[in-house]
Structure 1
Amino acid sequence: MRSTFFCARRRNAAPTRTHLNRRLIGYPDGVKDRSAAVQRRLEEAGLTRKIGSNQVRAIRINVSGTHEDMKRIEEEGRLDEWCADNLKYFADTFGKENIVAAHLHRDEETPHIHVTLVPIVKGERKRMKREEQTKKRYRKKPTDTVRLCADDIMTRLKLKSYQDTYAEAMAKYGLQRGIDGSKARHKSTQQYYRDIQKLSDNLKAEVVDLQQQKETAREELRRAKKEIQTEKLKGAAT
């Protein structure tokens, strides 16, 4: 499961398959798109503090599996079941009311879901160490205080926990978690396409080189045949 704060342009989407995409969560009355759904949730959450201009208001999450696994799930007729289990996982993990949008995309080679959640949490914020060390006494705030805080959701420990619990929820589909503690690094979409283009250019260069070698071999073969024919003619004359 991979989470990001933005979604790269889907350059490899096939326009002829766009009709296969599906919205998994309906928007409330009067809400027409994802941005409006995010704003509606913020307005109805009961926030007491003003939202800062630099605060994260929504988190985009992309869930999928390997191309082979997702095609297998699709061919087994379990794609709808997989979508339902994903929605249940996110509702149980982050709160159903915070999941404002979810879309199934099948216009690319591998089926996947884009989920949008608003990071509304409850409880007192975690004070920084320097605040803890000051002599100032903080008034204890109610434990049910509603806050907008992506930092509480995206801590290193919680991200690891999401990977673990999501793998457990998806085990029934034969999906496995990535290697825990792996040193591998995620490759951006832009870097992926650059690598593909480089590989394509290298292959083209190799094809040109092989073609040249082929032409050289043909020329040598013609020359050898001509020499053999000449030798035969000389032998016949003798």
Structure 2
Amino acid sequence: MRDSFVIGQYDWLKSQGGRPAGQRRYAILRVGKIKTKGQLGAALGHNLRERHTPNADLDRLHENTVLKGPENGRDVIAAWEARAPEKVRKNAVHALEYFVGASPEKMAAMSRDRQDAYFRKALDWFETRHGKDNVLSAVIHRDETTPHMQLLVIPLDARGRLNARELVGGKATLSRMQTDFAHEVGISFGLERGRERSQATHRTIREYYAHASTPAEADFRLPERHRGNILGVGRESDEEWRQRATEAAREAIARTKAQYEEQLRQIERGAAQLLSGVRNHEKTLRRELGLSTAEERQMADIRMNGFLITIRTRELSPTESRDLTEAAETVFGPDGMKRLLEGDLSQCQGESYPERARTALAILKSYEDRGMDLAVPLQRIHDDLESFKEAREAEKARERVQERAIVIERTRDHTHDEGDVWEL
């Protein structure tokens, strides 16, 4: 679980002092700390939709935009490794994850181009603040109710060290960041900063993320009655005002109905995805406990071999890589996968050592692509492969020497046949 903290003094207000629902126009900025490479891989899996995201609409997945950085987590991690210092402290914050959004009703009122311009200006602001090369990834999500952007930044200080404390440490620094963001980015899009030192209840990135996935509230007020001028010209009668108010109420009810119908559709989609997730989780638990049936292991074996054949001609996609891992876990079982992750090839398939090594390397590579540090088992397998090749070469050399010795001996004894052909 990522350790998160809020910045600034704004959040959806639960006490006095905030704007009424429907009138909020705040620039939203949240930041969370990512402490390990594994957490970084998980964050990328979510941001780049390389893993199941329950509150995302699969039908709108194509509307997401990778504004900066690679389109897969493996390459983003490679970019992190290229920027990271040679020695990383155990307690170092590996990355900062920023959430950029706006009040749902204000964001809904923006055109698509206007939203894109807001997110691009926010990206420019982060690049100026943290350094262009240190902003590794920026993704706009439109497959959820309220559009927003999530960025991943490697927190390097001027000396090239991981130093999140210097960049975002302390309430004063975070408050200034909130103010600067609102003034330099938000204001030009009609957004403002929340009240400083308010009595608002603040939320973490995770809590705000959940709140941002709910529809904006309907904002309805009865229309003002036309009073006319001093002489009464243009004054609206009671009946005229009632008709206009009734029509306005009908329109508001229609908008609210459409909003709740959309929310109901999202709940139904979410329920279906949740059920699918429960089934997958049950399947994963059974696989991890070694409870897979013979039929499941046989099917997993076929799928795994298919992926291993494919990987000889091209790299697997993130989805195929996950499927390969799942199949391998089903085939080898929890103990077998543990040994394989240690570089023990006894559980791998293949009649010869090179075949087993190819199987192991393909499986371990799929894990490495998901953020695991497997340098030790991979090096062990590569070393064993080199030893195997050297042993094979030595064996072939011994066979050649032995063949020559036999030919020489037969020549000395004159026991060779006329059909013998020999070269020394």
Taking structure 2 as the reference length, the TM-score comes to 0.36
How far does residue 118 in structure 1 lie from its aligned partner after superposition? 0.4
1:166 aligns with 2:202: no
Residue matched to 1:152:
166
How far does residue 38 in structure 1 lie from its aligned partner after superposition? 4.0
1:26 aligns with 2:69: yes
Q: Distance in 2 between matches of 1:190 and 1:158?
A: 22
Structure 2 residue runs without a partner (length 5+):
1-28, 35-42, 47-51, 215-424
Report sequence identity in percent. 27
**Contact 2:134–2:156 (Cα < 8 Å) also in 1:** yes
Residue matched to 2:316:
none
Relative contact order higher in (CA < 8 Å, ≥ 6 apart): 1
1:4 aligns with 2:47: no
1:17 aligns with 2:60: yes
Against the structure 1 CA distance between its residues 35 and 2, is the aligned structure 2 distance closer, same or farther, given a 3 Å change threshold?
Answer: farther
- In the alignment, which of 133, 145, 153 is matched to residue 109 of structure 1? 145
Against the structure 1 CA distance between its residues 181 and 34, is the aligned structure 2 distance closer, same or farther, given a 3 Å change threshold?
Answer: farther
Larger radius of gyration: 2
Equivalent residues in 2 for 1:181-196, closer than 5 Å? 181-187=197-203, 189=206
**Contact 2:179–2:193 (Cα < 8 Å) also in 1:** yes
Helix, strand or coil: the match of 2:145? coil
Q: Deviations over 1:68-120 (max 9, x none)?
A: 11111236x31221121011111111111110000000111111000100001
Against the structure 1 CA distance between its residues 185 and 35, is the aligned structure 2 distance closer, same or farther, given a 3 Å change threshold?
Answer: farther
Equivalent residues in 2 for 1:87-236, closer than 5 Å? 87-122=123-158, 145-156=159-170, 157-168=172-183, 169-187=185-203, 189=206
Q: Distance in 1 between matches of 2:201 and 2:57?
A: 27
How far does residue 10 in structure 1 lie from its aligned partner after superposition? 5.0
Q: Distance in 2 between matches of 1:181 and 1:34?
A: 38
Q: Deviations over 1:2-51 (max 9, x none)?
A: 11136688542212111111100133xxxx63454244234345x36x10
Against the structure 1 CA distance between its residues 147 and 62, is the aligned structure 2 distance closer, same or farther, given a 3 Å change threshold?
Answer: same
Amino acid at match of 1:147: R
Residue matched to 2:108:
71
Number of matched pairs: 165
In terms of mean alpha carbon deviation, does 107-116 or 34-43 score higher?
34-43
Taking structure 1 as the reference length, the TM-score comes to 0.61
Structure 1 residue runs without a partner (length 5+):
123-144, 197-238
How far does residue 190 in structure 1 lie from its aligned partner after superposition? 6.3
Helix, strand or coil: the match of 1:24? strand
Against the structure 1 CA distance between its residues 35 and 163, is the aligned structure 2 distance closer, same or farther, given a 3 Å change threshold?
Answer: farther
**Contact 1:106–1:112 (Cα < 8 Å) also in 2:** yes
**Contact 1:120–1:147 (Cα < 8 Å) also in 2:** yes
Amino acid at match of 1:166: F
**Contact 1:167–1:176 (Cα < 8 Å) also in 2:** yes
Helix, strand or coil: the match of 1:54? coil
Q: Deviations over 1:165-202 (max 9, x none)?
A: 11012101111111111232334556968xx9xxxxxx
Q: Distance in 1 between matches of 2:114 and 2:161?
A: 37
Against the structure 1 CA distance between its residues 21 and 120, is the aligned structure 2 distance closer, same or farther, given a 3 Å change threshold?
Answer: same
Q: Distance in 1 between matches of 2:94 and 2:74?
A: 10
Structure 1 runs of 4+ aligned residues shifted over 3 Å read 6-11, 187-193
